[in-house]
Amino acid sequence: MNIITVALASDHAGFALKEELKSEILEMGLKCLDLGTDNLDSVDYPDFGRAVADALVEGRAERGVLVCGTGIGISIAANRVAGVRAAVCHDATTARLAREHNDANVLALGARIVGGEVAKDCLHAFLSSPFDGGERHLRRVVKLG
């Protein structure tokens, strides 16, 4: 799938990293659909995980990126939407394998867990790695529903 637009969102804990990643996405020549949050005021991560998930299933973006404190809560929220496969990644290897093996369409990051440079490595690996497409991987992804 050709990536044109990346949907991006965070809660307050992920706001600063989200802004860094937005610049990175734009520098990569991609469009960025920023779904908030817009400042450091406390918000609820499920609202933002859901916003990116909805953007994906409605075809407004081909990939999503989510950031909260750990990446966990916001990925759980996104994964409750059918067709969304959000993967919490901690380095370029987990980001690459989330694409190659799991055909993940949302990258989730923990701003309190990974630094900015590692997060950018994750972003580049996630956006540049294709799904492996092998029979066993496809069978397993189909079973995810």
Contacts of 130 (CB under 8 A, 6+ apart): 99, 100
Query: Can 32 be counted among the known catalytic residues?
Result: no
- Asked whether 21 and 70 are in contact (CB, 8 A), the reply is no
Strand locations in 5-81 (E) = 5-10, 31-34, 63-68
Q: Which stretch binds ligand RB5 (CB under 6 A): 19-27, 28-36, 62-70, 137-145?
A: 62-70
13 vs 61 by CB, closer to ligand RB5 = 13
Strand locations in 18-135 (E) = 31-34, 63-68, 86-88, 106-110
- Asked whether 102 and 63 are in contact (CB, 8 A), the reply is no
Q: For ligand RB5, what does the binding mask look like between residues 84 and 123, x meaning CB under 6 A?
A: ----------------------------------------
Q: How far apart are CA 82 and CA 94, in angstroms?
A: 22
Q: Which stretch binds ligand RB5 (CB under 6 A): 29-37, 49-57, 69-77, 96-104?
A: 69-77
By CB under 6 A, is residue 11 in contact with ligand RB5? yes
Which residues are marked as active site? 68, 101
Q: Which residues bind ligand RB5 (CB under 6 A)?
A: 11, 13, 45, 68-70, 72-73
